[in-house]
């Protein structure tokens, strides 16, 4: 990537797709993804009777998960480098009721600047969803995330699944695109690098192999509790496909949730969601 920093790469990469991303927030693909992440997160949240959880959301975007957890009573620090996304976050935060708005802090920054924005080992939940694909590599970001995790904290990471790059065009019967991505996977493996792809907001991005990403997570002293595939059966729809009626959407999410935690299906998820745990105080 030449001399550009991870922050520059992430900001420049996503900025080109900001408008279409925001336009599609209520469409099927995004709604299914967010509902799946919500279910999976809730299954791993630390259980505590000591008050609200301290949550850090890095690359918080429009704030879907951050604001959901604030509504649930938790204290949230959201970090987001894009001015456009921070504006969208604040618009959504304005709808929070009661004292939930006071439990949310939005900061201008990114995963490379956490040491300047947060205190080490300060958070019970550390989230980084949909960020790693815009960085040159995942290792440095995972180091930053791990240092923010308090003992026993949940560290939740969502990235693009390199192993399944050719699945979406295959089920759409786009044979040329599927073959192109298979070629890219083979080249990346031969050259010892990560595979790249053009995502559906028109941005060139990077994908992580789940096994390698989990090894990176564990090198930072975190224990992988579970990993999930996200969006398998519904990934053939177009980016502008609207969300279906609630009863049909519920069936889709139920199916996707079960596929996403079951081998061999989960390996075909467009995204990979890793739920890891920082060692608790008694583990030291």
Other CB atoms within 10 Å distance of the CB of residue 53: 21
pLDDT of residue 54: 96
- 3-state SS, residue 53: coil
Total of domains in the chain: 1
Predicted confidence (pLDDT) at residue 194 exceeds the cutoff of 90: yes
- 3-state SS, residue 37: helix
Tell me which residue range forms the domain holding 217.
Answer: 6-162+205-283
pLDDT tens-digit series, residues 223-244: 999 999 999 999 999 889 999 9
pLDDT of residue 9: 42
SS3 of 212-224: the string is HHHHHHHHCCCEE
Rounded Cα distance, 18 and 217, in Å: 28
- 3-state SS, residue 274: strand
CATH number at residue 122: 3.40.50.150
Rounded Cα distance, 81 and 97, in Å: 26
Tell me which DSSP letter residue 282 carries: G
Rounded Cα distance, 270 and 166, in Å: 9
pLDDT of residue 18: 82
Any domain includes 58: yes
The pLDDT of 46-70, averaged and rounded, is 92
Any domain includes 41: yes
Any domain includes 185: no
Predicted confidence (pLDDT) at residue 47 exceeds the cutoff of 90: no
Any domain includes 257: yes
- pLDDT > 90 in the chain, percent: 80
Rounded Cα distance, 176 and 21, in Å: 25
Query: How does residue 51 score in pLDDT terms, banded at 50, 70 and 90?
Result: confident
β-bridge pairing 75-80 and 54-58: parallel
pLDDT tens-digit series, residues 167-178: 999 999 999 999
Any domain includes 120: yes
Any domain includes 177: no
* Cα–Cα nearest to 271, from 161, 185, 183, 174: 161
Predicted confidence (pLDDT) at residue 5 exceeds the cutoff of 80: no
pLDDT of residue 20: 77
Cα radius of gyration rounded to whole Å, the chain:
18
Q: What mean pLDDT is reported for the chain?
A: 91
Cβ-proximal residues to 210 (8 Å cutoff; 6+ apart), any chain: 161, 162, 163, 227, 267, 272, 274
pLDDT of residue 31: 95
User: Rounded to an integer, what is the distance from CA 186 to the centroid of its chain?
Assistant: 25
Any domain includes 176: no
- pLDDT > 70 in the chain, percent: 93
pLDDT of residue 3: 32
Predicted confidence (pLDDT) at residue 11 exceeds the cutoff of 50: no
Given a contact cutoff of 8 angstroms between Cβ atoms, the answer to whether 26 and 241 are in contact is: no
pLDDT of residue 268: 96
Predicted confidence (pLDDT) at residue 158 exceeds the cutoff of 90: yes
pLDDT of residue 176: 98
Query: How does residue 117 score in pLDDT terms, banded at 50, 70 and 90?
Result: confident
Any domain includes 150: yes
Q: What are phi and psi of 213, to 5 degrees?
A: -65, -40
Q: What are phi and psi of 124, to 5 degrees?
A: -85, -25
């Amino acid at each position: 990537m030449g001399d550009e920093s991870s922050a520059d790469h992430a900001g420049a990469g996503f900025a080109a797709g900001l408008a279409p991303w925001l336009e599609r927030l209520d469409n099927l693909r995004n709604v299914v993804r967010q509902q799946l992440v919500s279910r999976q997160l809730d299954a791993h949240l630390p259980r505590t009777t000591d008050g609200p959880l301290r949550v850090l959301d890095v690359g918080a975007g429009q704030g879907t998960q951050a604001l959901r957890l604030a509504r649930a009573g938790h204290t949230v620090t959201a970090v987001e480098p894009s001015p456009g996304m921070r504006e969208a976050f604040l618009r959504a935060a304005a709808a929070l009721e009661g004292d939930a708005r006071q439990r949310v802090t939005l900061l201008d920054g990114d995963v490379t600047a956490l040491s300047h924005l947060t205190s080490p080992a300060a958070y019970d939940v550390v989230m980084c969803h949909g960020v790693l694909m815009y960085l040159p590599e995942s290792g440095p970001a995972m180091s930053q995330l791990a240092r923010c995790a308090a003992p026993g904290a949940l560290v939740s990471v969502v990235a693009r699944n390199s192993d399944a790059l050719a699945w979406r065009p295959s089920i759409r019967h786009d044979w040329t695109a599927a073959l192109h991505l298979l070629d890219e996977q083979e080249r990346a493996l031969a050259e010892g690098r990560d595979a790249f792809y053009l995502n559906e907001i028109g941005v060139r991005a990077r994908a992580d192999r789940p096994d390698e990403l989990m090894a990176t997570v564990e090198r930072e002293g975190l224990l992988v509790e579970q990993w999930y595939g996200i969006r398998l059966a519904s990934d053939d729809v177009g980016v502008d496909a609207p969300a279906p009626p609630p009863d049909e959407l519920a069936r889709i999410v139920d199916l996707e949730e079960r596929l996403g935690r079951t081998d061999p299906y989960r390996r075909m998820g467009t995204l990979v969601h890793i739920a890891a745990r920082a060692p608790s105080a008694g583990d030291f």
